[in-house]
A and B are shown apart, each in its own frame.
Chain A
Amino acid sequence: MMKFDAVKIGDTLGPQEIYLSKDQVRTYARTCGMDVPRFTDDAAARAEGLPGMIAPGNMSLGMLSRLVTDWIGSSGARLARLGTTYRQPVQPDHTITLNGFVTHVEPAEKRVDIDVWIENEDAERLVIGTASVEFP
């Protein structure tokens, strides 16, 4: 089980490579009541000026949240804060990579700050964010 004292600046989360299928994006959109054409249909998304259907920002946020909670595992720590910035659309039918990097360890509060991001195959950072994890 991961302990606070063992976490160091520079520790990495992932990389987790994911082939994101259109069906996965549609399932997320429908499950979460975001069933709008830009998240489900290529032609309709293009008509809105997008390159094709895209993943909802909330889904990217969910994947980065999962990256952090997978890292936390059963340690009893909790995700206390997550911030995301959507820089470029996340397109399905592509492989994306989830990454994280510990940037700060705060012993007084038993808090760890982490940079998280989603990359495409060209190592472009489509979504960037920061997370804070609090340990018991």
Chain B
Amino acid sequence: MAVDYDPGLIGKVFEITDPVGVSAEDIRKFCAAMGETNPLYTDEAAAKKGPYGTIVAPPSYAVTFRNGRHFFTHVPRYGRAGLDAGKDIEFHAPLRPGDKVTLSSHVKEIYEKTGRSGSMVFVVVRSTVQNQKGEVVAHIDHRFMNRP
């Protein structure tokens, strides 16, 4: 069975977020919540001597910018609301204190798969995270699983 969707959706940016700031305090709180002990993320003096010359956020901080909104609007739904099935992330520039970050998102792919538990429709949304200089911080592919 082919999945029914508008092919014009694929690749079209449907959302660009307002800039979100990243402060040293935000990074400290994230590290505390994650139990990070890596000095590159937690120790200003050690991080100064490291590759970035300052504290940077752990890479997985990049997935936190959809605060409070797990599911994208303007994305096709099939049956029950999409569950987070997984992510694929390419990391580029590090997140530094003082950065202002935007996300632009488009639907990358929609496909159907049949598993042991029946038919599933996957909607892959790609978000590009950029800093205030326009550098790409990360490309994040969110895989949402829908059950028709």
Contact = CB atoms under 8 A, between A and B. Distances in A.
A36 B67 CA distance: 11
A65 B32 CA distance: 15
A27 interface: yes
Contacts of A129: 86
A27 B34 CA distance: 9
Given A33-B68, A66-B58, A57 B87 contact: yes
Interface in B10-59: 29-30, 32-40, 50-51, 58-59
Given A62-B58, A65-B60, A69-B59, A32 B90 contact: no
Q: A-side binding surface: helix, strand, loop or mixed?
A: mixed
A74 B51 CA distance: 9
A82 B30 CA distance: 19
A90 to B, nearest CB: 12
B91 A57 contact: no
Interface residues of A, number: 33
A76 B94 CA distance: 13
B144 to A, nearest CB: 11
Nearest to A64: B60
A79 B70 contact: no
A9 B10 CA distance: 38
Interface string B50-87: 11000000111001100110100000000000001111
A84 B143 CA distance: 10
A74 to B, nearest CB: 7
A78 B30 CA distance: 19
A65 B86 contact: no
Given A70-B38, A86-B84, A129-B86, 16 more contacts: A31-B29, A33-B67, A58-B84, A59-B34, A62-B60, A62-B63, A65-B59, A66-B34, A66-B38, A69-B38, A79-B59, A82-B59, A82-B89, A84-B86, A85-B143, A86-B85
Interface of B: 29-30, 32-40, 50-51, 58-60, 63-64, 67-68, 70, 84-91, 143
22 contacts: A27-B33, A28-B33, A31-B29, A31-B33, A33-B64, A58-B84, A61-B63, A62-B58, A69-B38, A78-B91, A79-B91, A80-B91, A81-B88, A81-B89, A81-B91, A82-B60, A82-B87, A82-B88, A84-B88, A85-B86, A85-B143, A86-B85
Interface of A: 24, 27-28, 31-36, 56-59, 61-63, 65-66, 69-70, 73-74, 76, 78-86, 129
